[in-house]
Structure 1
Amino acid sequence: MKIIMPLTLSAVLMGAVLAGCSSGTSTGGEKTEAPQADKKYKLTYLNQNFDKTVKDSYAVKYVQQKFNVEVEQLPRSKDNFKDELLLKVASGEIPDVWVDLGFPEYEKLVNQGAVAEIPQELIEKNAPRYWAWLKKHLGDDPLKLYRRDGKNYSMPIIQTLGPDRTVVSLRKDWLDNVGITKNPETLEEFEDAMRKFRNNDPDKNGKKDTYGWTGQAAGVKDIFSPVFGAFGVFPGTFTDKNGKIIRGEIEPGAKQALTLLNKWYKEELIDPEFVLNKGPNVDDKVISSKVGIVTGSWYQFIQRAAFFDGKYYEKLRANVPNASWLLTAGPKGPDGQQGTVQLNPIASSGGQFGKHMEKDKGKMAKYLQVADATAFDAETFENIVYGEKGKTYKKGDKGDYIYLPPYDKEEEQIKFGIGQQYTFVGKSFNDYEFQTPYMTLNEMMPIRRANEHIGKGKYDILQPIQIPAYNENIDTLDQMTLKYFIDMITGQRPVSDFDKYVEEWKKAGGSKVMEEAQKKYEENFKK
C-alpha cells in the first residue's frame, strides 16, 4: 500500500479527475465561487467514530435542514487512515474532503495532483469565524506554511493546547507521606523525592515496590524529556538557538542529561522497565500507584469535569481516594532551565479537498460554511453534541450543559444520534475558548485556569516544513539515537560514548539533515 508507482498513479489521477469517477465528484462542472441557492449539495465526511453513529441521527438531520444539504458519514479507519486514504487516491476514489494527514503525505498528494486548491478568498468569505481564529493564533498570513508554488491547498487545523500541554506531575500525597514539605523545583530536589519514593514506602503498604519516575522509550522525544529540558535541550525536535537550527539529541546538554539518568538508573530511582513500556503500561503503573512522577498532559491530572480527560486523577482516586497531584513544568537544571518537548500547534497538514472539488467551488464553499458553523456557532454545536433542549439536555443554574436522563448515558446519546462523534470538518477546529462552557463545569473553572498553562518547553518548529533529507534519514537516525541513549542510561555502554554517537549520527545522514533544515528555516522563518 505504501509502494505506489508514480507514473501509474499520475495516470489514474488524471483519469479520475477528467472522467469524474472519484467518489463524490461533481458532474456539473460548475466553477461558482458561492453555493447555488437552489441546489442541494451532498456533503460526504470520513468518520473515525462511525461505529457510534446511527442512520437518521438528530445531529445529521439538524445540519441537513439548517444548510439545505444531504449529509453522508462514511467509516474511516482509526489506525490505518493514512494508508487507507493513499490507497483510495491511487485507485481513483478521491474523497471530497479529509483531515489530519501528516505533512509528508500532504506534500505527496499535492505533488501528485490529488488535492484541490482552496483560494484564500473562498475561506475568508464562507468561513469568517474560522478565518479570524486562524489569524488570532497564526498571524496575519495563516496559510503561509501551507502554500505550494503560491497556491493554498489546506484548511489549517491548529492545536492551541500544544505549546504548553505537557507537564511533569508528582504525587502530592506521596510527598506528604515521606515528609517533603517544600514542592520540588530543582533536579536535586526531584532526585531527593525520587529516592524517598523508592525507599521510604510512600504508599504505606510495607513493601519496597515503588519507583520515582516512569516513562517510555517509544521515540526519541519520549525518553525522560524533562531531564534533558533541565539542561536546555529537546531531543527529537528542531529548535532555534540564536538563529541556528539545532537538534537536542546531539547537543552537549544531552550528555549531561544522560549522565544523570544513568546515575538514577543505577540507584533504581527510575522505572527499570521504561525501555519496554508503552502508553498502557505507563497508565497502569501510575493508576496502580507504582510510581510517583510521570509526564503527561495537564488535563489528565485534574477532574474530568474541569477539562476533557481526568484519566490519572479519577482512575487513581478510585483506588486511592486521597490521591492528589502536584503539576510542574519539570525540574530546573543548573542554569535554571526547565521544560519538556511540547507540541507544535500546527500538528498536521489540516484538511484538504479532493482535486475534483476544484470543478465545483460552490460545493467547496458549502463545506466551508458548514465547517464554520459546526466549529464556532453555539446553536449548531449544541444541537450536534447535546441535541434537543428540554428533551436530551438542559442548562443548569450556573450555565452548565447537563444531559437529561436517560441521555446522560452514552448509549442513549448514540441511539438518539448526538455527540462529539459526528464529523463535519469543523469539529476538528477546536477553539477551546469557544468550547469552554461545553467542556468545563462553571464551578471547576478555577481548577482549569490554575493548571492549563503550567507547561514549558519547546516544540519542533520545522514540523510543517518539507525536508527531504530528514524524511530519507530520520528512521535510521532515530533508531541509532534510541539504541545509544538506552544503552548509556542502563549502563550497557559508557556515557563517554556520547561523542562517538554524535559523529556516527552526522555521518549517517545527520549532517545533510541539519544543513537542509537550516536552509528551510531561513527560507520560511527569516524572510
Structure 2
Amino acid sequence: MKKMLALLITFALILALTTACTNEASEKETDENSNGTKTIKVVYKDEGPSNPVAKAYFSNLEKALKEDKQLDVKFELVEMPQGNYAEKLNLLLMSGEIPDLIYFQGGDQQIAEQDLLEDLTPYIEKSEHIKNIIQPHNEERMKNYPYLLWIKPLDSKTPVMRKDWFDKMNSSTELMENPSVDNYFKFFQELVESPPGGSGKPANAVTVAGDITELDFIFEMAFGINQTWIKNGGDYEYSKVSAQEKEKLAFYNKLYTAGLLDNQYLTKQWDTKEKAFYDGETGVIVGTNGKIIDIYNGKMKQVNGESAEVVVLPPAKGDFQGFAPTDITKESRGLAISSQSKNKETVFQVLDYLASAEGQMLDRLGFEGEHYESTDSGINLTEKYYNEWYARFWEPAEFEPEKPLLTPLLSEPAEQSRELAYEFYNTDNSFIIPVELISKWDAMENLYKEFSTDIITGKRPIDDFDKYVEEWLKAGGDEVTEYANKNIK
C-alpha cells in the first residue's frame, strides 16, 4: 500500500512538473510570437529548403529586416514535391496546412472563394512603399481580384533566337521589315532546311513548353484575335470558337506537318525547352520579356560564346500585331497572405520592406560579392547576376540604389524585349468566370486543348472545327457566351 501511495505521489509530481513545463513553453511561444521572433511559414515554387540559393536569400532577408526595420522574423520554407505546382499546392492547402505567405501559379481562385486569402487592398493603401511602386496593370488587377499581388513589368512573352544564326540567314531582313505570317513561315523554313549553324541542326524551328500558349504570343493577334472575346456581328464570341481561331490552328498544323514546330512540343517542359535552345536543337523559343530574356541571353553566351547573344523577334503582323492581349482581370500568379495567419501584419511588413530601396538591394541585385560588387564609384553587376539572378518579389519600374549602377540591370536584348512588350501593349476583355460556371468552363477549356492538339498534330482534319464548336457550346459555351454579352462593357 505504501509503495502504491509513493507511486501515485511520484506520478502526481511528474504530471505537475510536465504541465508546468508545457505551460511555460506555451507562454514562451506566445510571448515570442507577440514580442520576439515571429516565424513566417512560406511556400514558394522552387524556393524550398533544398534550394541553397533560396535558403541564403531568406537568411539574408532575416538579417536585413532586423538591421533596417528592427523586425525579428524567421522564415520557415516549405518543400514542395515535384510535379504540377498548382495541384500540389492545393493538396497542401486542402490538408489544412496553410502557410502565412503563399505563392500561387494557378489554382488560387477556389482557395479565395473559401475565404482563406486576405484582401490586400487595405494593406496596400496604408503601405509605406508598395503603394508607390504598384503599376497601372497591377492596380486594375487588384481592383478585380484583391488577393494576389505581383508587382512586375508586363508579363508579355517575346520570341528570341541566336544572333549569330540570325545574321547568317537570308530571310532575316525581310522578317524584321515585314513580320507577316508568310514571312515567319519562310524564316522558319530556312532555319531548318538551310541551318545557319552548318551542323545539320536545328531539328525544328520553334519549340514551346507543353501547349500552344507560347506560340500564340507570336501569332495570335496576326490572325485577328486581339481579345479573348471578339465581335461577330453585334455580339461577342469566344475567340477559341471563332473563324480566326480555325485559321490559326490550320497554320499551326502547317508548321507541325512541315517539321518547323517541334513535333515533341507536347512533352516539353520549361527546362527541356530551354536545353533544346542552348544545345541548338531548336532555333526559336519564347520567354517572358525582361529578366527571363536576360537569363536566356546569359546562358546562351555561356554555352555557345559571346557571338551567340540572343536577338528579339517581332510579333507576327496581320489583322493586328502584338504579343497577345494583356489580361487585367487578375494576376495569373502572385503572392497571397493567408487569412488564417496570426502574423498577417508582419507578413505585409516584409512585403513592404522588399519594395523599399534597402529591400530592393537584395531582391533586385542578389548577394554582394557574388552577384554584384560595390565600389566607391558605384555598383558593378557580375556575370553570375546576368546568368541566374531574378527578383523573387518585386520589380518596380524605377529602381535607384544608393550608389549608381555602373552596369545596366538588363542586357540589351532583355531591355529591347521589355520595350517591345510596352510598345505592343493591348488590354484584354476577359473576365473572372463566375463560381457557378467554373466547372463547365474547365471542361470547355479541356475540350479546346484536346481538339486543338488533335488538329495541330493531324489526328483530326481542320474541317472538324464546326463539330468542336457544337461540342463546346453544349458543354456550357452557350451559358458563358450569354454571360459575356451581358457583362462585357
Give the TM-score taking structure 2 as reference length: 0.73
When residues 365 and 516 of structure 1 are mapped into structure 2, their CA distance, relative to the original with a 3 A threshold, is same
Q: Paired residue for 2:21?
A: none
Deviation at 1:193, TM superposition (A): 1.5
Deviation at 1:222, TM superposition (A): 4.1
Distance (whole Å) between structure 1 residues aligned to residue 128 and residue 314 of structure 2: 36
Deviation at 1:192, TM superposition (A): 1.8
Deviation at 1:269, TM superposition (A): 3.1
**Runs of at least 5 residues in structure 2 that lack an aligned partner in the other structure:** 1-25
When residues 420 and 383 of structure 1 are mapped into structure 2, their CA distance, relative to the original with a 3 A threshold, is same
Deviation at 1:196, TM superposition (A): 1.6
Aligned residues: 443
When residues 398 and 117 of structure 1 are mapped into structure 2, their CA distance, relative to the original with a 3 A threshold, is same
Q: Paired residue for 2:474?
A: 507
Of the three residues 395, 406, 424, the one matched with 1:430 is: 395
Amino acid across the alignment from 2:228? F
Deviation at 1:506, TM superposition (A): 1.2
Distance (whole Å) between structure 1 residues aligned to residue 160 and residue 56 of structure 2: 40
Q: Paired residue for 2:101?
A: 98
Larger RCO: Structure 1 or Structure 2 (Cα < 8 Å, ≥ 6 residues apart)? 1
Identical-pair percentage: 21
Give yes or no for the alignment of 1:230 onto 2:222. Answer: yes
Give yes or no for the alignment of 1:489 onto 2:456. Answer: yes
Distance (whole Å) between structure 2 residues aligned to residue 436 and residue 65 of structure 1: 18
Of the three residues 180, 187, 193, the one matched with 1:193 is: 187
In structure 2, the residue corresponding to 1:198 is in which secondary structure?
Answer: helix
Give yes or no for the alignment of 1:374 onto 2:375. Answer: no
Deviation at 1:178, TM superposition (A): 3.5
Q: What are the within-5 Å matches in structure 2 for residues 326-405 of structure 1?
A: 326-333=311-318, 335-340=319-324, 346-348=331-333, 350-355=335-340, 357=342, 364-376=344-356, 378-382=357-361, 394-396=373-375, 399-401=378-380
Distance (whole Å) between structure 2 residues aligned to residue 493 and residue 392 of structure 1: 51
When residues 272 and 389 of structure 1 are mapped into structure 2, their CA distance, relative to the original with a 3 A threshold, is closer
Q: 1:101-131: per-residue Cα shift (whole Å, max 9, x none)? A: 36753454453x54456672x5433x13212
Deviation at 1:252, TM superposition (A): 1.0
In structure 2, the residue corresponding to 1:131 is in which secondary structure?
Answer: helix
Q: Paired residue for 2:285?
A: 294
Distance (whole Å) between structure 2 residues aligned to residue 390 and residue 275 of structure 1: 41
Distance (whole Å) between structure 2 residues aligned to residue 514 and residue 186 of structure 1: 31
Asked if the contact 2:102/2:337 (under 8 Å) is kept, the reply is yes
**Runs of at least 5 residues in structure 1 that lack an aligned partner in the other structure:** 1-22, 31-35, 148-153, 358-362, 411-418, 422-426
In structure 2, the residue corresponding to 1:332 is in which secondary structure?
Answer: coil
In structure 2, the residue corresponding to 1:169 is in which secondary structure?
Answer: strand
Q: Paired residue for 2:149?
A: 156
When residues 468 and 268 of structure 1 are mapped into structure 2, their CA distance, relative to the original with a 3 A threshold, is same
Q: Paired residue for 2:207?
A: 214
Deviation at 1:166, TM superposition (A): 0.8
Asked if the contact 2:217/2:315 (under 8 Å) is kept, the reply is no
Asked if the contact 1:262/1:490 (under 8 Å) is kept, the reply is yes
Asked if the contact 1:215/1:274 (under 8 Å) is kept, the reply is yes
When residues 198 and 511 of structure 1 are mapped into structure 2, their CA distance, relative to the original with a 3 A threshold, is same
Distance (whole Å) between structure 2 residues aligned to residue 219 and residue 280 of structure 1: 14
When residues 246 and 316 of structure 1 are mapped into structure 2, their CA distance, relative to the original with a 3 A threshold, is farther
Amino acid across the alignment from 2:457? T
Distance (whole Å) between structure 2 residues aligned to residue 437 and residue 343 of structure 1: 35
> Larger Rg: 1 or 2?
2
Amino acid across the alignment from 2:324? T
Give yes or no for the alignment of 1:145 onto 2:144. Answer: yes
Q: 1:193-231: per-residue Cα shift (whole Å, max 9, x none)? A: 2222222232112x3754333334x34524555233210
Distance (whole Å) between structure 1 residues aligned to residue 299 and residue 375 of structure 2: 23
Q: What are the within-5 Å matches in structure 2 for residues 6-17 of structure 1?
A: none
Amino acid across the alignment from 2:419? H
Q: 1:393-423: per-residue Cα shift (whole Å, max 9, x none)? A: 74246632558xxxx999xxxxxxxx989xx
Distance (whole Å) between structure 1 residues aligned to residue 370 and residue 246 of structure 2: 61
Q: 1:367-397: per-residue Cα shift (whole Å, max 9, x none)? A: 4333222222x23443688799899974246
Which ranges of 4 or more aligned residues in structure 1 deviate by more than 6 Å?
383-393, 435-440
Distance (whole Å) between structure 1 residues aligned to residue 371 and residue 305 of structure 2: 34
Distance (whole Å) between structure 2 residues aligned to residue 270 and residue 248 of structure 1: 22
Distance (whole Å) between structure 1 residues aligned to residue 258 and residue 369 of structure 2: 60
When residues 452 and 211 of structure 1 are mapped into structure 2, their CA distance, relative to the original with a 3 A threshold, is same
Distance (whole Å) between structure 2 residues aligned to residue 508 and residue 391 of structure 1: 54
Distance (whole Å) between structure 1 residues aligned to residue 257 and residue 223 of structure 2: 20
Give yes or no for the alignment of 1:255 onto 2:249. Answer: no
Asked if the contact 1:172/1:323 (under 8 Å) is kept, the reply is yes
Amino acid across the alignment from 2:282? V
Asked if the contact 2:158/2:287 (under 8 Å) is kept, the reply is yes
Deviation at 1:64, TM superposition (A): 2.8
Q: Over aligned residues, Cα RMSD in angstroms?
A: 4.4
Distance (whole Å) between structure 1 residues aligned to residue 281 and residue 341 of structure 2: 54
